[in-house]
Structure 1
Amino acid sequence: MTTRALPPVTTLTEAQQRGWACVWCRTALGIGLGDNLGEQRVTPATGAAYTWFPRQCPDRPACQAREGA
């Protein structure tokens, strides 16, 4: 899917962590839209481990343009 390293989960919004928004440009992604980047597991130094579900825009050039803006 992507060759880029995912950003640290602590820098992302709840919508980005849940796959409701693009992990790169924050654009809202509707049901069935976007590319699934796989289930990610995080074990923080303190607190309980949790899972997050990043997705990215299907139109990568447009996503990169929004991300750079």
Structure 2
Amino acid sequence: MKTQRPLPSVADTTEAQQRGWACVWCRGPLGIGLGDDLGEQRVRPADGAAYSWFPRQCPDAAACQAREAS
């Protein structure tokens, strides 16, 4: 795992970001086997059942930061 940044709130992410299909930072698409896995994250909402989400990030941090800034 490369990042030390705190992950965004799951409420601020898209379904694609939650499922690891898109970068959690820049929302760029991540193909199968691409991206860095940031590990399973558990969410325990105040009401409702707990669930997991699976964020990933781009392997190229510089390109990701450029996309995130635009």
TM-score category (smaller protein): over 0.9
In structure 2, distance between residues paired with 1:62 and 1:46: 38
The TM-score normalised by the length of structure 1 is 0.98
What secondary structure, in the 3-state scheme, does the structure 2 residue paired with 1:51 have? strand
**Structure 1 regions of 5+ residues with no counterpart?**
none
Number of residue pairs matched by the alignment: 69
Counterpart of 2:32 in structure 1 is: 31
Map of 1:1-69 to 2, 5 A cutoff?
1-69=2-70
| Unaligned ranges ≥5, structure 2 | none
TM-score by length of 2: 0.97
Aligned CA RMSD, in angstroms, stands at 0.4
Displaced runs of 4+ in structure 1, greater than 4 A? none
Identity across matched positions, percent: 75
